Structure 1
């Protein structure tokens, strides 16, 4: 039976029997080993040094490799299509010199990337620190995306002096640049910048902002509003690339290009820009130029006009709205602290505080503000300008009383008022007793030889000298004079002016001053003039013309060594030639009315000459008009004084005194030498003119070029009053 069994079956049975035997033997060996371990009595020695996990040998400073440096636990999920490690607790990653920390992370060694969560930090040396709630990092491209979350409410990037905060930040380690796209804030030790889009490089300290950009200076408090801005956190310089508005406590800047140093408050504006300066009264001075250099520390601004025709150059323009003045030129400066302006390169000043604008040109123009103490407007309006000038000339109230055409009634101080007549008897008895006592005291002092002067004692026989006078009323100004007796004590009172008014009630007021230096000329509808130097003062409404001045009115011309022009409201009312003057009026062809003297004063009414006063060495040549409006004789007169009254542009009255010499010549017998006084010249070619062009009035020399005739006139050092006699075809002397 066995022989008939196939051999394979026998082999299998043998294997089974053998395996069972081996298993029984292993079981018996294990039981014997346990029994032996229980019987051992010795203790194994502790290890001599800590046992650490072995880190595979590799270069852990590789810039293109992310290494897991630490984790409390690591788990690798099975059956993933790629290797993925889940690490938790004190997780640390490293790529080159950059370290990353988090609470937990998904680590993908093959992709060289990770997703970190909870208290995320990125650190690189001592220059970069980034804090977030989540981090998605691609080690191959070295790019990170950080977002806010439960553990950190915002993403924060820090370097030693700069802090950038946002809700989501992208960071590129290759270029060391971080950027946000949904709003963020960058803050350094001087400024705070906010925008919709922003980028910052800790390595270069350069930042760029776009859309709704606002810069706030924490030192000065001014704000910058723009749509595009470049900023350097190292130098604190903001580079302006588009329309920008900078608002400060006193200044506002409008520009489209330039650089602003937010630390020193210096700005270089390289496009057409405007600066608005405000004073404590909110009056505004505006400076506009093709380029401007601005220094907030010194409060000095300098404006330039482009020289490149391709840039469409426009002049510098300074406008003072409070003082109604505009100054334009190729170059200008404005000192906001001193309220002074300066302009060169064809400057033009337009002063429009009056009805008729004053136009003033020169090589250089300077304007400033003069502060004077004046009475409040409520009091000043009660007096006319002439009355104020007259009252300021008085030195005492007595002078005012002496010039009044009525007798000022003086009554005793304390005399009963109407309705108090019953008190008169008692008052009179006590009053006359006081006079007797004063008389006795004076006689006693005279006998004792005290040497007291009469001025120190009142005269008892003169009531007005011993008792205070009544108030004197004149031109709405009340002046009280008090004369006390020798026994009275004069209290210390307020400071009084010449009219007895308390000067502490005076208030400061600003007045405009303009100086035109070098080949100056001015234009008004009623008057034009030239001089080497002109000074205009709003305080006294005076225009001073110095060195070779000439002034024109209608067909009349006045010149001398010095001319002072006074403006009243909107018109000229007086012109003074204090040293030497010459007046000429064009009549016809080569005939001119002429007048010369040491001192000359011309008065104007309605823009026309109304009166002329001349003093000292008066010389005149004039052609009297006949009834038929013709001229047939010439009159030459010399005298010491002259007064001329004009009416409707014609001679009304003529007065010479005290002695007069003269001659009358028929016009057809006049020799050429008899037509002109010594020093006569006709300067009509030098007269400033305007013309109507392009819908407005403009100067003939619109760009300020100096005419050749004017250039030659000021080159000659001879005073205008001493010019040689004679005229050429151009109207200038030979």
Structure 2
């Protein structure tokens, strides 16, 4: 049986009367009609329903509006069509074309060409929203767009907690701010704290560069970020890559841990280590823990290892100064060395070694002093300046012995191929070298002492020597050379300590 009444008077009173006659649910849980233009009461097959035109419903403090609504009294479910709107409290409003509202669970499903959820500070627009009004959680599984005063965020799926102001977005997530753009696969965004936690391939781009990572968090207000997995910061001057990374959004300074790699783009300098810091404005880097640096010049690479490495960039002229501190090893294809402190200036290609430095070459020489300065030209050693307790040893492969020169200060000059060409000794000069005749036969050992001397070399053998002042020397025939006479005081051939490339980059102990 169908009963129809066209309401021209007090539709609310009649609705309450019908409700009192049929109570499939508790009256306090039933969705209440508070206004309508027309109300039709229907009873069909034992099911009571209401057909409401231009109605307003109230339930648990929320208001529901629509042009047409059908309310099932037995199930407490409302189907509503046309200009659908939900108003919850004084902050949340949901609008759309169609509404299914399940009063017992307070679940509202709103859909339409343009379905919108608004609160006091943001607007979510999509095609369909499921809104759990009991817990304040809205979700959508069709492409959606969230806009607030600072951000525009789009994704294919998302959840919004209207109480905690937390968003969770999935699939093709993109957050656009006037200062940056963030793309990822999964994003949890708290609009109160401004922190975005992301998981999946993520890229953050701003005017200073980009950040690429897979898991971490980013503050949309301060632009600070922290990443837990392999991440790279890339800008016009450098890249910083690490297993975990923190970046200060205002200064763009970075801190990395775990297999840190800092690449300076202008001069192809690469710093490696367990932990590293970068100060962008100052152009200053610090790295330690298995730290080493690679500097590519021409077709050769210079490697420097130290307990701690520092890099200073002069941004005006694109030059760099490298500093290594404690347990320094250096490796280049044509020379190797070790010391306790080192500086390298890429502008003038000068390397300074301090605190017990020692250098070797594949051309069979060894140099020691209190400090050594190497001057490179076209990526090859042109000159070395040794100061304080200077000692130069060259291996004479012809006689299977060692030529030696020592003094207070030594200038050593080299020709192409890093071959020793000339040695100038100034102060307390001593030399021990093997003389050969025109037939390359050893004719004896020359032992000479002189304050200043000039030695010319060919194939690591002394070809000519001149002295300033009165020399004190002797030539010892081969048959009369005693073992102690073969070495100057302080002689120590330490070729076994010469670092390899693998040792310099921590691949061997």
| TM norm structure 2 | 0.89
Aligned-partner Cα distance in 2 for 1:625–1:349: 43
> Partner residue of 1:459?
none
- Shift of the 557–648 alpha-carbon distance from structure 1 to 2, 3 Å rule, reads closer
Larger radius of gyration: 1
- Give the aligned length: 491
Say if 2:303 and 2:504, in contact at 8 Å, map to a contact too: no
RMSD: 2.6
Name stretches of at least 5 consecutive residues in structure 1 with no aligned partner: 1-49, 279-283, 306-314, 372-507, 691-698, 708-734
Aligned-partner Cα distance in 1 for 2:296–2:105: 68
1:560 and 2:363 equivalent? Answer: no
> Partner residue of 2:358?
550
Task: Deviation per CA, 1:308-341: give whole Å up to 9, x if none.
Answer: xxxxxxx211122321111111111222222222
1:581 and 2:390 equivalent? Answer: yes
How far off its partner does 1:200 sit?
A: 1.2
Q: Give the number of the structure whose residues are more often helix, by fraction.
A: 1
1:88 and 2:53 equivalent? Answer: yes
1:158 and 2:118 equivalent? Answer: yes
Q: Give the number of the structure whose residues are more often strand, by fraction.
A: 2
Pick the aligned partner of 1:647 from 448, 458, 464.
458
> Partner residue of 2:184?
226
| TM norm structure 1 | 0.63
Pick the aligned partner of 2:257 from 304, 311, 314.
304
How far off its partner does 1:241 sit?
A: 1.3
> Partner residue of 1:612?
423
> Partner residue of 1:658?
469
Say if 1:285 and 1:319, in contact at 8 Å, map to a contact too: yes
> Partner residue of 2:319?
511
Say if 2:303 and 2:505, in contact at 8 Å, map to a contact too: no
Aligned-partner Cα distance in 2 for 1:79–1:365: 85
After superposition, residues 68-79 of structure 1 pair within 5 angstroms as: 68-76=33-41
How far off its partner does 1:256 sit?
A: 1.1
How far off its partner does 1:197 sit?
A: 1.4
Pick the aligned partner of 1:198 from 155, 158, 171.
158
How far off its partner does 1:77 sit?
A: 5.3
> Partner residue of 1:325?
269
Q: In structure 1, the residue corresponding to 2:484 is in which secondary structure?
A: helix
Aligned-partner Cα distance in 1 for 2:392–2:282: 40
> Partner residue of 2:339?
531
- Shift of the 207–521 alpha-carbon distance from structure 1 to 2, 3 Å rule, reads same
Q: In structure 2, the residue corresponding to 1:548 is in which secondary structure?
A: coil
Aligned-partner Cα distance in 1 for 2:28–2:393: 95
Say if 2:195 and 2:220, in contact at 8 Å, map to a contact too: yes
Say if 1:586 and 1:593, in contact at 8 Å, map to a contact too: yes
How far off its partner does 1:703 sit?
A: 2.5
Say if 2:231 and 2:242, in contact at 8 Å, map to a contact too: yes
How far off its partner does 1:116 sit?
A: 2.4
Say if 1:61 and 1:95, in contact at 8 Å, map to a contact too: no
> Partner residue of 1:679?
490
- Shift of the 653–62 alpha-carbon distance from structure 1 to 2, 3 Å rule, reads farther
> Partner residue of 2:5?
none
- Shift of the 242–686 alpha-carbon distance from structure 1 to 2, 3 Å rule, reads same
> Partner residue of 2:407?
597
Task: Deviation per CA, 1:509-563: give whole Å up to 9, x if none.
Answer: 2112111111111111111111111100011110011111111122111111111
Aligned-partner Cα distance in 2 for 1:290–1:172: 40
Say if 1:63 and 1:95, in contact at 8 Å, map to a contact too: no
> Partner residue of 2:96?
132
Task: Deviation per CA, 1:582-635: give whole Å up to 9, x if none.
Answer: 111233799421111222111111121112211122111111234444435211
Q: In structure 2, the residue corresponding to 1:148 is in which secondary structure?
A: strand
Say if 1:88 and 1:103, in contact at 8 Å, map to a contact too: yes
Say if 2:43 and 2:49, in contact at 8 Å, map to a contact too: no
> Partner residue of 1:254?
212
